[in-house]
Structures are given as structure tokens and as C-alpha cells.
């Protein structure tokens, strides 16, 4: 969907779980790295490399501060997918003999589930613990899945589709008691949830810049250095950068952007969290007042403040999206948008959730009250229109009265 100057009306963007716009203040921090500060941070024999290295270390301090961590525990990566892979595969390679078991959940991001599947093919055992109908993991269920040879548990802090928050503090205590490492994918959480790694009790934590108003292609993995000193193997070799954990020329612009984004989140998160929650609740109230047969997918209490995932009875997600114009929303995660199988996260909730039409609304830093009012009107109208259409037969073409999905301004294309 092109958003050029010729676009008559810019759609309302409510898909902040897929990505967030780069904050202008982050862009301003990055701009010098494309000009005078273009040096390679590994080339410290001259002023250009030294200046770049200084920028990287400043970003490392900013990132660590958001986690209440030691800067030496921050390893820069290309994003949460790489961080997750490094955490899981790196921990697996360094696992002691006889410990070949990993425990995770059925609603993790593909960036955790796919590495787990690869480790299974390499001879490791992986247990996938289901969540409750509210999308929240029960600590006792995960505890029951642990075995004498379990060396790693990986549970996301917040789900990327239904926004549910998982009991990481309780899991951290459980894993510490059993001598098991705990990894958490916090990519979706950091913009709105305070993450003190010591209080959480995690050993490895993945973050991504573009989920919190920073640039795409930059992220980090926090690796605990004390009690215990966690050791993982690198994914690839070639220079020993980032304390030997992540070889390759550092993406200085992206790292600087990540650091600036972390600093802004730390400064503004509390106020922004309350503001966006109020907008989310307003959107929920408007839609459920205007339509019947609407339910929330997942717990509304243990949830990201900017997330709303709604199931609409009597209509499919595709039908709603075909009739929805002027609002950019998603029917599921960006990582699953090419699949015709529907959302595995919604299937994990049980019942008929996966069979009902669901939309994921992700509000953000620049979402306004006026946009929420307009979006609610457009969604209500789209659902009413979709419900009035005759049911399409399998393999049928366009449904009468609504356009088939295509790249158009405001079209409800999957993220």
C-alpha cells in the first residue's frame, strides 16, 4: 500500500504490533550517522571509528538503562528474531551433557517456535504448554512440563496478537529454584511495560527497536552476567564483535536509533501507557455499543494497554477487511500473514475463537482521540456491511458489494 503525496486520505494506522513509526526524535538522533559520523565502530585506530564506537556505547547504556541492567550485558542484533534465535540456539549449544529439554508455550512468536522446531530436528526435546482460554499461561501447567533434563524455558512477556501478559516474575522464581534458564521475548512489551530484568528473574531477554518507535533492523539480546553468569554460543563467526557473541559490522545508525528509542520510552512510558489505555478502552466501548456479537480475545485485565483483539460473530475476518476502508488493521500476526490456516494463537484459546472473524487493533504513541472515534465508526460500518453479504462459497471470487483485498489506501490488508 503506497502512501505517497498523491494519497487523498491517509488511513488511520492501528497496527502498531506489526511495526511502529519511527519517532522524529529518533530520526534526528540517527541522522548524523549517515553523514559525518559514518565510521565503523570496530575501526578504533582513527577518529572516525572512535566516534562511531562512542555512539554505540552510548546506545548500549541507553538500552541497558531501560532494563535496569549492566551495559556489558547488552548484545546488539538485527532485531528480536535474531535475538530469539541467538538465545535459544546459543543456550542449546552450551547446554551441559544430558540436558536436552526445552519448554515453551503454544502462543509464542514464530521467531521462537521455528527455532524450537529446528532444535527438535537436531535431537532436542521441546514441550509446548497451552495457555488458558484467557490467553494466560498457568504457572502450574508450565511447572508440570519441566523435567530433570530441562535447561531452558522460553515464554514471551506479551503476546503479539492478543496482547496478554504472562506471569514472568513467577516463572523466573520457578526456573531459578530448578536451575533452569528463562528467556523472554519482550519485543511487544517494552514500549508500555516496565522491564526490570532483576525483578522479572529472566536470564535472557530479546528486544526490537521497530516495536518501540525505533528503526527496523536493530535489536538486542540481554544476557545475564551475574547469578548466574549465562554463557551461550554465537550463531555465526567472523570477527568476534559484541564480546564474541555477534560477529559482523555493527549497524551504527540502527543501534543509535535503538538507544534513542529506549531513552524516550523510559522517559515517557508511564504517561503514554495511561493515555493509550484510555483510547483503547474508548475504542472497545464504541465498537461493542454499536455492534452485538463482539467478544474480546484474551484477558482484558492482563493485557498490553494498546492492544485490542476482537472476535465478531457471524462474519469472517476476510469479509470485514474487504469492507473496511480508511483503517489499517490486521487479522493476525505479520509472521503468519502468508498462511491460510488462521491464527494459531486464537486456536490455542480453544472454543470457536479461530473460526470467528477477528481483528487486532494496535494503538500507538501518535494515535489521537479523533482517530479512535473515526476508526470505530468505520469498523462498525464494515462489520454491518460484511454481515449483510451472502455467504461466499469456498473458492468464490469477490463478495458482492465489497472490494477484494488489494493494495489500496486504508485497505485492511494483513500486516
Q: Give the helix ranges, DSSP H, for 95-159.
A: 110-121, 139-145
DSSP code, position 215:
-
**Cβ pair 348, 109 in contact under 8 A:** no
Q: Is the bond preceding residue 228 a cis peptide, omega within 30 degrees?
A: yes
Three-state DSSP class for residue 105: strand
Catalytic entry in 116, 323, 335, 402: 335
User: How far apart (Å, rounded) are the C-alpha atoms in residues 30 and 53?
Assistant: 14
The residue among 224, 140, 132 whose CA lies nearest residue 182 is 224
Cell representation of residue 415 = 500486516
Half-sphere exposure of 187 (CA within 13 A, CB side): 33
The residue among 164, 194, 185 whose CA lies nearest residue 104 is 185
Instruction: Establish whether 323 is a catalytic residue.
Output: no
User: How far apart (Å, rounded) are the C-alpha atoms in residues 378 and 257?
Assistant: 34
Strands (E), 269-392: 294-296, 307-312, 327-328, 357-362
Catalytic sites, residue numbers: 335
Amino acid at each position: 500500500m503506497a502512501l505517497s503525496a498523491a494519497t487523498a486520505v491517509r488511513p488511520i494506522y492501528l497496527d502498531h504490533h506489526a511495526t511502529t513509526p519511527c519517532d522524529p526524535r529518533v530520526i534526528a538522533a540517527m541522522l548524523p550517522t549517515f553523514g559525518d559520523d559514518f565510521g565503523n565502530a570496530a575501526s578504533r585506530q582513527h577518529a572516525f571509528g572512535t566516534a562511531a564506537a562512542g555512539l554505540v556505547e552510548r546506545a548500549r547504556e541507553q538500552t541497558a538503562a531501560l532494563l535496569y541492567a549492566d551495559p556489558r550485558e547488552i548484545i546488539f542484533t538485527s532485531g528480536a528474531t535474531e535475538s530469539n534465535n541467538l538465545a535459544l540456539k546459543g543456550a542449546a549449544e552450551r547446554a551441559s551433557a544430558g540436558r536436552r529439554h526445552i519448554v515453551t508455550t503454544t502462543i509464542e512468536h514464530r521467531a521462537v517456535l521455528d527455532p524450537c522446531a529446528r532444535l527438535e530436528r537436531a535431537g532436542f526435546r521441546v514441550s509446548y504448554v497451552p495457555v488458558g482460554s484467557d490467553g494466560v499461561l498457568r504457572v502450574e501447567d508450565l511447572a508440570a512440563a519441566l523435567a530433570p533434563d530441562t535447561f531452558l524455558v522460553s515464554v514471551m512477556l506479551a503476546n503479539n496478537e492478543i496482547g496478554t501478559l504472562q506471569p514472568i516474575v513467577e516463572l523466573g522464581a520457578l526456573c531459578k529454584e530448578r536451575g533452569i534458564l528463562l528467556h523472554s521475548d519482550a519485543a511487544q512489551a517494552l514500549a508500555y511495560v516496565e522491564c526490570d530484568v532483576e525483578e522479572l528473574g529472566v536470564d535472557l531477554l530479546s528486544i526490537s527497536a521497530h516495536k518501540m518507535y525505533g528503526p527496523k533492523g536493530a535489536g538486542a539480546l540481554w544476557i545475564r552476567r551475574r547469578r548466574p553468569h549465562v554463557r551461550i554460543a554465537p550463531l555465526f563467526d567472523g570477527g568476534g564483535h559484541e564480546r564474541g557473541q555477534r560477529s559482523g559490522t555493527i549497524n551504527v545508525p540502527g543501534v543509535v536509533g535503538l538507544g534513542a528509542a529506549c531513552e524516550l520510552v523510559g522517559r515517557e512510558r508511564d504517561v503514554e501507557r495511561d493515555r493509550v489505555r484510555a483510547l483503547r478502552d474508548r475504542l472497545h466501548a464504541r465498537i461493542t455499543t454499536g455492534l452485538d456479537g463482539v467478544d474480546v480475545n484474551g484477558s482484558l485485565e492482563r493485557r498490553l494497554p494498546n492492544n485490542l483483539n476482537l472476535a465478531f460473530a457471524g462474519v469472517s475476518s476476510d469479509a470485514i477487511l474487504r469492507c473496511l476502508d480508511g483503517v489499517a488493521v490486521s487479522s493476525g500476526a505479520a509472521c503468519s500473514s502468508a498462511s491460510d490456516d488462521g491464527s494459531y494463537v486464537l486456536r490455542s484459546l480453544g472454543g470457536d475463537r479461530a473460526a470467528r472473524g477477528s481483528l487486532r487493533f494496535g494503538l500507538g504513541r501518535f494515535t489521537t482521540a479523533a482517530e479512535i472515534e473515526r476508526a470505530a465508526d468505520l469498523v462498525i460500518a464494515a462489520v454491518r456491511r460484511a454481515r449483510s453479504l451472502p455467504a461466499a462459497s469456498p473458492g468464490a471470487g469477490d463478495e458482492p458489494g465489497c472490494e477484494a483485498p488489494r493494495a489500496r489506501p486504508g485497505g485492511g490488508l494483513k500486516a
